[in-house]
Amino acid sequence: MSRKNQTLGEFIIENQSSFKYSSGELSSLLNSIRLAAKVVNHEVNKAGLVDIIGAAGDTNIQGEDQQKLDVYANDKFIQTLTKRNIVCGIASEEEDDFITINSQDENHQNKYVVLIDPLDGSSNIDVNVSVGTIFSIYRRVTPVGTPVQLEDFLQKGSEQVAAGYVVYGTSTMLVYTTGDGVNGFTLNPAIGSFYLSHPAMEFPEDGSIYSVNEGNYIHFPQGIKNYIKFCQEENESENRPYTSRYIGSLVSDFHRNMIKGGIYMYPQSLKNPEGKLRLLYECNPMAFLAEQAKGKSSDGFTRTLDVVPTELHQRIPFICGSKNMVEKAESFMQKEK
Ligand code: P6P
């Protein structure tokens, strides 16, 4: 049950009983993400004012320049999750390996692991374009009370118990699912509370927005090239040509497409033979949200949530959005198989 202007805290408590597994720990975990989102939002919103932007000089495991705000966001989410003593392990885009959280008490009963992209799209920070945080939550599969293992993180996306994102845009929103639909909460910065502003979010079955970096067009698989041409063809009855909108920030493109109807694609290419997006902390959480919002997500052939992970930072091709648009793109991909 939800009502407009309910706070995120009230919503979490009211819907706790519907969580598949939780003795209040998942609620506490979601509340710690809420706190970290507010702290990071405070810094992101003034990025241009303090010397916290610009490359930290370091590079992450992907070999990408690490922006200082990446590092800040990563530290804040890890600190908040660790302090609350709720999770047994954390994996982050900004960390080469997963982090084991040793509980203060000897009978370490924490049963959740969190995978996070602390600041996705961070190359946009210096040009004041919206960025986001993406999180994914699983129950551990190794015995409670033992140190967390890699297999606790390498679970199929269909095993997620919760997933969501924070979009630091014209307003800051936290959008998440625990497997019972998708709900969006907008931060009132004056009082620091998130309010239920977008209950029961759903992708329109059809849409007329396509999001892809067409600069990579010549390197795309033929099926994707054919679908992009389909989007650009004149067909009034099918509302084509579609509109091309690509922000370069997955969370922002996904969020707009979920509200208006659309498709996001990051296919494989010569430069990125496995695609660019990471399966565990970008594609799986967004795919869980997409399916919970009646949308669809795949690599053109296999449902994203069915992919069996083999390594922490693996990448996969990613097509996600309005169900009929994704199925159309898949039909073009499968014709060229
Ligand atoms: P490109 C940001 O780095 C990101 O992971 C997504 O947020 C975004 O959609 C994509 O990569 C942008 O990549 O190669 O088009 O700049």
Determine whether the shortest distance from the Cβ of 216 to ligand 1 is under 6 A: no
Q: What is the mean pLDDT of residues 110-136?
A: 93
The residue whose CA is least distant from atom 3 of ligand 1 is 121
Provide φ and ψ at 264, rounded to 5°.
-115, 135
Q: What is the pLDDT of residue 58?
A: 62
One-character DSSP codes across 130-193: -EEEEEEEEE--SPTTS---GGGTS--GGG-SEEEEEEESSSEEEEEESSS-EEEEEEETTTTE
Q: What is the pLDDT of residue 62?
A: 67
266, 274, 286, 313, best to mutate for ligand 1 pocket (most atoms within 8 Å of CB): 266
Each residue's pLDDT tens digit, 221-255: 999 999 999 999 999 999 999 999 999 999 999 99
Each residue's pLDDT tens digit, 259-305: 999 999 999 998 899 999 999 999 999 999 999 999 999 999 999 99
Cα–Cα distance, 73 to 119 (Å, whole number): 6
pLDDT band at 86 (very low <50, low <70, confident <90, very high): confident
Q: What is the pLDDT of residue 13?
A: 86
Average pLDDT, the chain: 91
Number of H helices, E strands in the chain: 7, 15
Whole-number Å distance, alpha carbon 250 to ligand 1 midpoint, is 6
Q: Among 4-18, 42-56, 97-111, which range has the highest average pLDDT?
A: 4-18
What domains lie within the chain, and their CATH numbers? 8-198 (3.30.540.10), 209-335 (3.40.190.80)
Determine whether the shortest distance from the Cβ of 132 to ligand 1 is under 6 A: no
Percent of the chain with pLDDT strictly greater than 90: 74
Cis check for the bond before 241: say yes or no (omega within 30 of 0): yes
Q: Among 1-15, 24-38, 160-174, which range has the highest average pLDDT?
A: 160-174
- pLDDT above 60 (res 21): no
Burial (0-12, 13-18, 19+ Cβ within 10 Å), 246: middle
Q: What is the mean pLDDT of residues 170-199?
A: 95
- pLDDT above 90 (res 216): yes
